[in-house]
Amino acid sequence: MHKKVIFAFICLAFMPISKVNAQCHQHTKHYNEYRFSKADTLRGSLRLERNCYDVLHYDLEIDLNVENKSIVGKNTITFKWLKSSPKVQIDLFENMAIDSIIVANQSTTFERNGNACFVEVPSFELGSINIMTVYYQGIPKQAVNPPWDGGFIWRTDNNGNPWVAVSCEGIGASLWWPNKDHLSDEPDSLDFHFTVPSSLFAVCNGNLESTDTQQDKTTYHWKVGYPINNYNVTFNVGDYYHFSDVYQSETNGDLACDYYVMRENSEKAKTHFQQVHGVLEAFEHYFGPYPFWEDGFALVETPYLGMEHQSAIAYGNGYQRGYQGTMIPKGMDWDYIIVHEAGHEWWGNAVSVKDHADMWIHEGFTTYMEALYVEYHYGREAVNTYLDLQRPYIGNKQPIVGPLDVNFGDWKVSDQYYKGSMILHSLRTYLGDDKLWFDLLKAVYGEFLMKQTDTQELTSFMSEYCKKDLSAFWEQYLCEPTIPVLEYYAQEKGNNLKVYYRLLTDVPALSLPIGFGTKENQIRHQCTSEWQEIKIENVTEEELFVNTKDILVRGKKLWERP
């Protein structure tokens, strides 16, 4: 998702890898204001009724009734049986009625507990492949403030035609279709049969396989050939104009790019979307080719701002530069929604997390990709200019790793985004080796490509790859809400300057390299919790520059010598 939403290290066998990660998730003192309900646990946790099966494929069929804003549907779930259990859990919001459930060609009984549904199943053979079909209907929840508030969006275009879409990150795909609504289990592939009035067009994820028109209705069959997390499954219905082009990759051949826009915006879109090639080129440079190559890349104009729907990215930024015309530096001309949501195809969609507690991996990496896009097209010096625009949005009110097993999504600030991005940039500074840094980015992406991971796995891999003990770094920046404070005092001695400094942290073992000097020339010094002093020649107190731009610390100048 875009802005406005509002690593666990082991290098040696004796080092307690789980300690840092456990502390991140067990910092309940930072979440005392929350009272998690049974429904939160049923949605967010993995128990036997979920762990007993692995979803392989969803075949979703939906008939959309525009007039009464309802749907009638069924979902055929192909799954592998992993553990013995008398029941399985699927999820569907309680305002949606389940008509019947068929398991292994037999009607079965089920019991609902709020948005969770527990389905009785026969004694399957371990390792067997089985099918469950859920028939359901109802009026899905409408979004009040999409995409931050999830649900269906019912609008009309400028010509009075229906324009319908959905956005459901956080709140969950189960608000409109029955599934195993947990980030840890993605289907290997998905088919989507979406029926709408024949005057409208339905755009979904993946490739359009076929259309079938019967009287006044048309069914569009879309197929996704890759793993996909449930909140990325989407539809867009309207009087769409379609055009396409081809992105030529230096390493991977031709990529089909498709665009679906409101008819009155067709000419504007043809010009505006030309920047997509530069986005794909930059991200391919840093991480490798677009990950869903056979499904193609698509932007779909939506009646809300945007969302990273896999191979069908929601676009609603009004063909403006930046974020609705703002939030990028002067002299830059690119569309924030295109850059950010396309970035999610690599981080969030191709590399996904197992639990909402670790959503900073989706958002922090993708927000940092904005800075990488700037670096690729505008140069290294432009990165700090861009990151400076993000700093005011860092709130430091909560750890950016949340509580596990409760589908936590009530983030008070945008720290998953901006702080996550700045943590990564700080790690680049901490390592002090750009070749290592860019090799690391590509390696960690390759390690978790088409997988679900978590903070512990990902940061452990990064630490091992760097062959450095980064445990104090990860604990401070991921587990604690606050950031380090650099206290310093400067005293002129003739033509020289003596600077006293120390680092205040929640994690005493942490030390950070911070540059002292002038804006044009600095030398990095390793700052610890102990007072240290340095002499800087031919620099006055007025000229002193302490570089807190390349690393996430707060500078605090003292007016008396410590």
Read off the pLDDT of each residue in 531-544 and give the average, rounded to a whole number: 94
Return the percentage of the chain with pLDDT > 90, whole number. 90
Structure tokens at 528: 């610890």
455-466 helix and 434-448 helix, angle to the nearest 10 degrees: 140
Output the pTM of the full model.
Answer: 0.94
Helices (H) and strands (E) in the chain, counts: 12, 29
Tell me the per-residue pLDDT of 373-400, one tens digit each, with 9 for 90 and over.
Answer: 999 999 999 999 999 999 999 999 989 9
Long-range contacts of 437-444 (CB under 8 A, 24+ apart): 438/286, 440/465, 440/466, 441/286, 441/287, 442/286, 442/287, 442/288
Structure tokens at 18: 């789980």
Return the percentage of the chain with pLDDT > 70, whole number. 94
Q: Are 378 and 396 in contact (CB under 8 A)?
A: no
How far apart CA 55 and CA 307 sit, in angstroms, is 24
pLDDT band at 34 (very low <50, low <70, confident <90, very high): confident
Tell me the per-residue pLDDT of 271-299, one tens digit each, with 9 for 90 and over.
Answer: 999 999 999 999 999 999 999 999 999 99
Q: Are 360 and 401 in contact (CB under 8 A)?
A: yes
360-378 helix and 381-390 helix, angle to the nearest 10 degrees: 140
Contacts of 542 (CB under 8 A, 6+ apart): none
What's the pLDDT score for residue 37? 87
Mean pLDDT, the chain, as a whole number?
Answer: 93
Contacts of 380 (CB under 8 A, 6+ apart): none
412, pLDDT greater than 80 = no
**Rg of the Cα atoms in the chain:** 25
Of 147-151, 380-384, 413-417, minimum mean pLDDT range: 413-417
Q: Return the domain boundaries, the chain.
A: 17-38+348-479, 485-557
Tell me the per-residue pLDDT of 55-102, one tens digit each, with 9 for 90 and over.
Answer: 999 999 999 999 999 999 999 999 999 999 999 999 999 999 999 999
CATH superfamily of 17-38+348-479: Neutral Protease Domain 2 (1.10.390.10)
How far apart CA 336 and CA 314 sit, in angstroms, is 13
Report residue 445: phi and psi, to 5°: -65, -45
Residue 224 pairs in a beta bridge with 190
What's the pLDDT score for residue 380? 95
Q: Are 366 and 340 in contact (CB under 8 A)?
A: yes
Nearest one of 396, 388, 427, 424 to 412, comparing CA atoms: 396
32, pLDDT greater than 80 = no
Q: What is the pairing mode between strands 485-493 and 554-557?
A: parallel
